[in-house]
């Protein structure tokens, strides 16, 4: 039970941070407004009607929400079946789920996702994204790091045998 409460707390914190920042952006910035923070970083209020860097832009909002729910269910299943001792992977899944829920809330309630982070140079810019997207990306990177680097080192140090190999 403590593991579940800890995981749900991480998910809830990720959702709360994501939704709070999005509310702040919507309440204080006009759509398309840019606030330069650093020479390579700006706040840029945008709407993403697609998924993951605007893929499937123009697809019906409820259809994208349904796709999101299916993917969230699959990620939840993977998370549930991950051994408890894989703490970095457990954390990665928690922030992925929190980010996915944050974007799903936008998609269902608004019909689009609020984006606001823009990395750029004078000649190049990255896709506009939000904290939920960052949680999803960082969570995926943590899982990959744990699976392909840390867990393999541990398994090799133990002579190639672990509980889940």
What residues are annotated to the active site? Answer: 115, 133
Q: What is the rounded CA–CA span in Å between residue 12 and residue 98?
A: 7
Q: Residue 129 carries which DSSP code?
A: B
What residues contact residue 24 under an 8 Å CB cut-off, 6+ apart? none
Cβ distance 38 to 24 under 8 Å? no
Structure tokens at 72: 């969230």
Q: What is the rounded CA–CA span in Å between residue 136 and residue 23?
A: 19
Q: What is the rounded CA–CA span in Å between residue 37 and residue 59?
A: 33
What is the sign, positive or negative, of the torsion defined by CA atoms of 61, 67, 12, 130? negative
Structure tokens at 149: 């680097």
């Amino acid at each position: 039970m403590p593991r579940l409460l800890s995981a749900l707390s991480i998910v809830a914190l990720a959702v709360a941070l994501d939704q709070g920042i999005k509310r702040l952006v919507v309440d204080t910035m006009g759509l398309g407004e840019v606030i330069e923070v650093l020479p390579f970083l700006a706040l840029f209020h945008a709407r993403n009607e697609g998924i993951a860097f605007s893929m499937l832009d123009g697809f019906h909002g409820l259809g994208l929400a349904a796709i999101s729910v299916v993917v969230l269910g699959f990620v939840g299943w993977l998370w549930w079946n991950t051994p408890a001792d894989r703490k970095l992977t457990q954390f990665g899944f928690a922030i992925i789920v929190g980010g996915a829920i944050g974007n799903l809330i936008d998609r269902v309630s608004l019909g689009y996702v609020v984006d606001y982070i823009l990395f750029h140079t004078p000649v190049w810019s990255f896709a506009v994204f939000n904290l939920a997207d960052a949680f999803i990306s960082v969570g995926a990177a943590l899982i990959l790091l744990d699976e392909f680097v840390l867990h393999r080192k541990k398994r090799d140090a133990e002579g190639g045998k672990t509980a889940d190999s």
